[in-house]
Amino acid sequence: MWAKAELSLTDLKPGDTAEVISIRKGRRAQMRLLELGITPGTRITVVAAHPLRGPVVVRVGMLEAALGWGLASSVRVRRLSQAGDL
Amino acid sequence: MEVATDDAAMRPARLPRTIALVGQPNVGKSVVMNALTGTKAFVSNYPGTTVEITEGTLVYAGRRIKVIDTPGTYSLHSDTEDQRVTQRVLLEGGVDLIINVVDATNLARNLYLTLQLLDLGIPLIAALNQVDRAKSAGLEIDVKKLEDILGVPVVPLVATKGEGLGELVSSIGRGRMGKPIRFSDQVEEVIAHLEREIEKVIPEVKGRRRSHASRVLAIHLMEHDRVDEDLFEVYPELRTLVESLQRQVGAGAVCSRCYRSCAFCPARDKEHPSFPTCLERTAQARAIAFQVTSGGITRTVPGGIRGRTIEDWLDIPTVGVVVTGLTACFSYKLVAFVMDLFDRLVIMATSPLLQWITSLAARFPEGSFAGLLLTSLPEGLILPFSVVFPAMFTIYMLMGFLEDTGLLPRMAVTLHRLTSFLGVPGQAVVPLILGFGCRAPAVLATRSLPDRRSRFIVLTLLSMAVPCAASLAIITSVSQVFNANLLVVYGVAGAVFTATGLTMGRLLRGEGEGEGEFVLEVPPLRWPSLSNVWRKSRMRMSEFFLHVLPLLAGVSVVLRYLVSGGYLSFLSALGPVTSRLFGVRGEVFAAVAMTIVQRYLAPMVLLNLPLTSREATIAVSMVSLSMPCTPVSVLLVKEMGLRTALFILMLALGVSLGVGLVLNVVLP
> According to the model, what pLDDT value does residue A64 have?
85
Percent pLDDT > 90 in chain B is: 10
Average pLDDT, chain B: 76
Q: Hey, is A85 helix, strand or coil?
A: coil
Whether A80 contacts chain B with CB within 8 A: no
Q: Where are the beta strands (DSSP E) in B337-431?
A: none
**Which among A40, A53, A45 is positioned nearest to A83, based on CA atoms?**
A45
Annotate B327-366 with b (16+ C-beta within 10 A) or e (fewer). bbeebbeebbebbeebbeebeeebeeeeeeeeeebeeeee
> According to the model, what pLDDT value does residue A84 have?
63
**Which among B44, B9, B1 is positioned nearest to B547, based on CA atoms?**
B44
**Which among B512, B388, B501, B363 is positioned nearest to B438, based on CA atoms?**
B388
> According to the model, what pLDDT value does residue B299 have?
43
> According to the model, what pLDDT value does residue B512 have?
47
B133 CB contacts (<8 Å, ≥6 apart)? B104, B105, B524
**Which among B641, B59, B297 is positioned nearest to A37, based on CA atoms?**
B297
**Which among B89, B86, B58 is positioned nearest to B73, based on CA atoms?**
B86
- pLDDT tens-place string over residues B408-443: 888 888 888 888 888 788 888 878 877 776 787 788
**Which among B352, B651, B310, B332 is positioned nearest to B504, based on CA atoms?**
B651
Whether A4 contacts chain B with CB within 8 A: no
Of A37, A66, A86, the CB nearest to B413: A66
* Three-state secondary structure string covering B570-584: HHHHHHHHHHHHCCC
Query: Bridge partners of B141?
Result: B293
Which one-letter DSSP state was computed for residue A68? -
- pLDDT tens-place string over residues B478-527: 777 788 888 888 899 889 998 988 888 878 765 444 445 778 888 777 77
B618 burial class (0-12, 13-18, 19+ CB within 10 angstroms)? Answer: buried
Q: Where are the beta strands (DSSP E) in A2-84?
A: 6-8, 17-23, 43-49, 56-60, 63-67, 75-81
Higher pLDDT, B603 or B369: B369
Say which CATH topology domain A6-81 has.
SH3 type barrels. (2.30.30)
Query: Bridge partners of A78?
Result: A6, A19
> According to the model, what pLDDT value does residue B366 have?
64
Name the superfamily (CATH) of residues B6-174: P-loop containing nucleotide triphosphate hydrolases (3.40.50.300)
B212: how many CB neighbours lie within 10 A of its CB? 21
| Contact state of B317 with A48 under an 8 Å Cβ cutoff | yes
B430 CB contacts (<8 Å, ≥6 apart)? B399, B402, B408, B411, B412, B445, B448
**Which among B247, B234, B240, B228 is positioned nearest to B200, based on CA atoms?**
B240
| Contact state of A28 with B512 under an 8 Å Cβ cutoff | yes
Q: Which of A13, A17, A32 to mutate to test the interface with B (most CBs of B within 10 A)?
A: A32
Return the domain boundaries, chain A.
6-81
Higher pLDDT, B44 or B582: B582
Is residue A11 within 8 Å of A17, Cβ to Cβ? no
What mean pLDDT is predicted for residues A13-37? 83
Q: Which chain A residue has the Cα nearest residue B108?
A: A37
Please list every residue in chain A whose beta carbon sits closer than 8 Å to the beta carbon of residue B102: none
> According to the model, what pLDDT value does residue B314 have?
78
Check pLDDT > 60 for residue B646: yes
What mean pLDDT is predicted for residues B252-262? 45
Q: Could you tell me the CA-to-CA distances from B209 to B213, B235, B239 in Å, in that order?
A: 10, 11, 18
Among B residues 112-171, those touching chain A with beta carbons less than 8 Å apart: 112, 137
pLDDT band at B599 (very low <50, low <70, confident <90, very high): low
Phi, psi of B349 (to 5 degrees): -70, -30
> According to the model, what pLDDT value does residue B300 have?
39
Among B residues 301-320, those touching chain A with beta carbons less than 8 Å apart: 301-303, 311-312, 315-317
> According to the model, what pLDDT value does residue B334 have?
83
pLDDT band at B256 (very low <50, low <70, confident <90, very high): very low
Q: Which chain A residue has the Cα nearest residue B518?
A: A68
What mean pLDDT is predicted for residues A19-34? 81
| Contact state of B522 with A57 under an 8 Å Cβ cutoff | yes
Query: Bridge partners of B191?
Result: none
Whether B358 contacts chain A with CB within 8 A: no
Phi, psi of A36 (to 5 degrees): -90, 0
Whether A1 contacts chain B with CB within 8 A: no
> According to the model, what pLDDT value does residue B304 have?
35
- pLDDT tens-place string over residues B326-353: 887 887 788 778 877 887 887 777 777 7
Check pLDDT > 90 for residue B115: yes
Angle among Cα B20, B156, B94 to the nearest 5 degrees reads 15
Q: Which of A62, A82, A86 to mutate to test the interface with B (most CBs of B within 10 A)?
A: A62
Q: Hey, is B365 helix, strand or coil?
A: coil
pLDDT band at B126 (very low <50, low <70, confident <90, very high): very high
As a whole number of angstroms, the distance between CA B246 and CA B225 comes to 10
pLDDT band at A18 (very low <50, low <70, confident <90, very high): very high
> According to the model, what pLDDT value does residue B547 have?
64
Higher pLDDT, B383 or A74: A74
Percent pLDDT > 70 in chain B is: 75
| Contact state of B417 with A65 under an 8 Å Cβ cutoff | no
As a whole number of angstroms, the distance between CA B379 and CA B552 comes to 9
| Contact state of A34 with B299 under an 8 Å Cβ cutoff | no
**Beta-sheet pairing, B140-141 with B63-69:** unpaired
Whether B539 contacts chain A with CB within 8 A: no
Over its C-alpha atoms, chain B yields an Rg (Å, rounded) of: 29
Check pLDDT > 50 for residue B553: yes
B376 burial class (0-12, 13-18, 19+ CB within 10 angstroms)? Answer: buried
Whether A9 contacts chain B with CB within 8 A: no
Q: Count Cα neighbours of B246 within 13 Å in the Cβ-side half-sphere.
A: 11
- pLDDT tens-place string over residues B455-492: 899 999 988 888 877 677 777 777 777 888 888 888 99
Whether B553 contacts chain A with CB within 8 A: no
As a whole number of angstroms, the distance between CA B301 and CA A46 comes to 9
B454 CB contacts (<8 Å, ≥6 apart)? B423, B424, B425, B427, B428, B446, B513, B514
A8: how many CB neighbours lie within 10 A of its CB? 14
